[in-house]
Amino acid sequence: MLQFLLDTLLRTADLALITLGLSLLYGLVKFPNIAHVQYAMVGAFLSYAFFSYGVPLVGALALSALLTGVITLVVQLLVFNRLLKSGPAIAMIGSLAVSMLMIASVLGISGSFPHMFSLPYTDPIAIGDAGVSKTQLWFMLTTAALLIIFVLLLFYTQVGRAMRALASNPALADASGLNAARITNGVTLLSGALAGLGGSMLALSAGAHVNLGNDLLLPVFAAAILGGLGNPLGAVGGALLIAFTETVVTNIDFGFISGRNLVFLPVSYISAASFLILLLALLFKPHGLFDREVRRV
């Protein structure tokens, strides 16, 4: 049971930062950016590149997160801000094109072979009857710390109040003297940095590979929709629910159906669990579990 809980929390950590950034940015720009998950893939390759050139691991992760945030901001300013003038549907289609271009660029530069971090081997940490690697534990603790910092920023600082005001009523916030463009640019940079860091930490155990973003696309969007697009904390709750569902699916022994012992679904069925949760959410709770407005395109 403890191992099941750890697996759920680890999968939540895989999704939480990327989902948080996606939902946070949606609250301001009001379109679902399909390319957002590819920022995680770009961050993973950047951190691998920095680490390969001798930058210490923590420095490589920080630099890749910062650079990914800058890339996100540049793409937003040069591409998506122009596409949004034609409406959110056009911007969403454009984000699919941007996603394909990012994949093709990384594929052309780094190839399709996964790049694994050369990290020293360490024995797993035993927690009761469960085990977790030091990298995985560090990943979960870092994600938890960043989420706490984000909550403090959002609810207990003037910047956070400005972000919430702009997300809930852009016209009123602009009339009140808030610099909407500066806030949006700052949130864009932050969302890209969170995605880049999330992808980088995921790559520490799974490697940097060109399909990393595609593998995250469905669970990240399912989690964001479950939490209510534009509700960043709800998105983290959605990530926890998706992680729980995926862990349940891959840990149920279906031997009672086939009459054999230890019959489990393959890991590839994780996507099916996300599909099911997403479909049920769209059918019964299209505005998310936390009842924030979702503008679907």
Q: What is the CATH number of the domain that holds 92?
A: 1.10.3470
Q: How many domains does the chain have?
A: 1
Q: What is the pLDDT of residue 145?
A: 94
Mean pLDDT of the 148-166 span: 87
Report the pLDDT value the prediction gives residue 296, as an integer from 0 to 100. Answer: 41
pLDDT of residue 19: 93
pTM (whole model) above 0.85 = yes
| Residue, of 284 and 293, whose pLDDT is higher | 284
Least Cα distance to 6 among 253, 244, 250 occurs for 244
Provide the pLDDT confidence category of residue 132 given band limits of 50, 70 and 90.
confident
Distance CA 199, CA 204 (A): 9
Calculate the alpha carbon distances from 119 to 3, 61, 149, 205 in Å: 24, 14, 28, 10
- Inside any domain, residue 54: yes
Task: Write down the pLDDT at residue 247.
Answer: 80
Residue 88: C-alpha distances to residues 74, 81, 142, 158, 219 (Å): 19, 10, 34, 29, 22
Burial of residue 175 (number of CB atoms within 10 Å: 0-12, 13-18, 19+): exposed
- Rounded Cα gap, residues 23 and 223, in angstroms: 9
Q: Give the end-to-end CA distance of the chain in Å, rounded to a whole number.
A: 41
Would the pLDDT of 187 be above 70?
A: yes
Average pLDDT, integer, range 9-31: 89
Q: What percent of the chain has pLDDT over 90?
A: 38
Looking at residue 244, its pLDDT comes to 87
| Residue 137: per-residue pLDDT | 86
The residue ranking higher by pLDDT, 284 or 153, is 153
Q: In the predicted model, is pLDDT for residue 241 greater than 50?
A: yes
Q: What is the 3-state secondary structure (H, E, C) of the chain?
A: CHHHHHHHHHHHHHHHHHHHHHHHHHHHHCCCCCCHHHHHHHHHHHHHHHHHCCCCHHHHHHHHHHHHHHHHHHHHHHHHHHHHHHCHHHHHHHHHHHHHHHHHHHHHHHCCCCECCCCCCCCCEEECCEEECHHHHHHHHHHHHHHHHHHHHHHHCHHHHHHHHHHHCHHHHHHCCCCHHHHHHHHHHHHHHHHHHHHHHHHHHHCECCCHHHHHHHHHHHHHHHHCCCCHHHHHHHHHHHHHHHHHHHHCCCHHHHCCCCCCCCHHHHHHHHHHHHHHHHHHCCCCCCCCCCCCC
Closest C-alpha to 15, from 245, 252, 259, 217 = 217
148: domain range?
Answer: 2-110+130-284
Q: Is the pLDDT of residue 294 over 60?
A: no
151 part of a folded domain: yes
**Is residue 119 included in any domain, yes or no?**
no
Q: Between these two residues, 294 and 11, which has the higher pLDDT value?
A: 11
Q: Is the pLDDT of residue 295 over 50?
A: no
5 — phi, psi (to 5°)? Answer: -65, -45
Asked if residue 124 is part of any domain, the answer here is no
pLDDT at 225 over 90: no
Per-residue pLDDT averaged across 286-295, rounded?
A: 58
Rg (CA), the chain: 19
Say if CB 182 and CB 50 are below 8 A apart. no
Contacts of residue 1, Cβ cutoff 8 Å, sequence gap at least 6 = none
pLDDT-above-70 percentage for the chain: 87
Residue 259 lies in a domain: yes
User: For residue 171, how many other CB atoms are within 10 A of its CB?
Assistant: 9
Q: What is the pLDDT of residues 244-278, one digit of tens each?
A: 888 877 776 666 666 666 666 666 666 677 777 77
Higher pLDDT, 292 or 210: 210
Question: Residue 294 falls within a domain, yes or no?
Answer: no
Give the residue-averaged pLDDT of 93-118: 91
- Residue 115 resides in a domain: no
Of 10-19, 96-105, 128-137, 214-223, the one with minimum mean pLDDT is 128-137
Average pLDDT over the chain, rounded to whole? 84
Q: What is the pLDDT of residue 163?
A: 84
Lowest mean pLDDT among 146-160, 178-192, 248-262, 274-288: 248-262
When mean pLDDT is compared over 10-24, 66-80, 145-159, the highest value belongs to 66-80
- Distance separating alpha carbons of residues 25 and 23, to the nearest angstrom: 5
User: Which amino acid is present at 43?
Assistant: G
Lookup: tokens for 115: 């790049």
Is the Cβ–Cβ distance between 46 and 64 less than 8 Å?
yes
- Residue 289: inside a domain, yes or no? no
More confident residue, 214 or 283: 214
